Amino acid sequence: MRRLFKALRVISVLAFAGGGLTAPVAVAQTNGCVNYSSSDIRTFQIKQIIKPGMKEAEVKRIWGEPTKVRHNYPGGDEWEYWNPSGDQIVTFGQHGCVTGWYTARD
């Protein structure tokens, strides 16, 4: 019984301290960018998901080179990705990180 309590105490300490049992998905930075782990980026790449706070290089890794780039859009740049059901527009803030995205239908 003592061993069981000791094991549970160790597990709870590790979980509380982030010892690998419940690791955070990402750590935010003050400039609006997020430090996603390489594992998170790989998952996003498989699922073709773009998230707020991603860096330009991460977006390129997931969706490739944009079809069109609009520089100096108010607040940052816009990248356009062609899609038959509507172009995907990714917006970047001043620090080069994703602030949002939307679908533009012609």
* Confidence (pLDDT) at 33: 93
C-alpha 18/C-alpha 100 separation (Å) is 30
Confidence band of 29 (pLDDT split at 50, 70, 90): low
If you compute the radius of gyration of the chain from its CA atoms, what whole number of angstroms results? 19
Domain extent, residue 77, equals: 24-104
In a domain, residue 76? The reply is: yes
CATH number for the domain that contains residue 50 = 3.30.1450
In a domain, residue 84? The reply is: yes
β-bridge mates for residue 69, sequence order: 79
Q: Is it the case that residue 19 has pLDDT exceeding 70?
A: no
Provide the 8-state DSSP code for 65. Answer: S
Confidence band of 106 (pLDDT split at 50, 70, 90): low
Mean pLDDT of all residues in 31-56: 94
- Give the position of tokens 């949002």: 100
Q: How far apart are the first and last CA of the chain?
A: 68
In a domain, residue 82? The reply is: yes
Query: 77: which 2 tokens?
Result: 């740049």
* Confidence (pLDDT) at 17: 38
pTM for the complete prediction? 0.68
In a domain, residue 52? The reply is: yes
In a domain, residue 66? The reply is: yes
* Confidence (pLDDT) at 26: 52
Q: Is it the case that residue 52 has pLDDT exceeding 90?
A: yes
* Confidence (pLDDT) at 5: 38
In a domain, residue 19? The reply is: no
**CB 91, CB 105: distance < 8 Å:** no
- What domain count does the chain have? 1
In a domain, residue 96? The reply is: yes
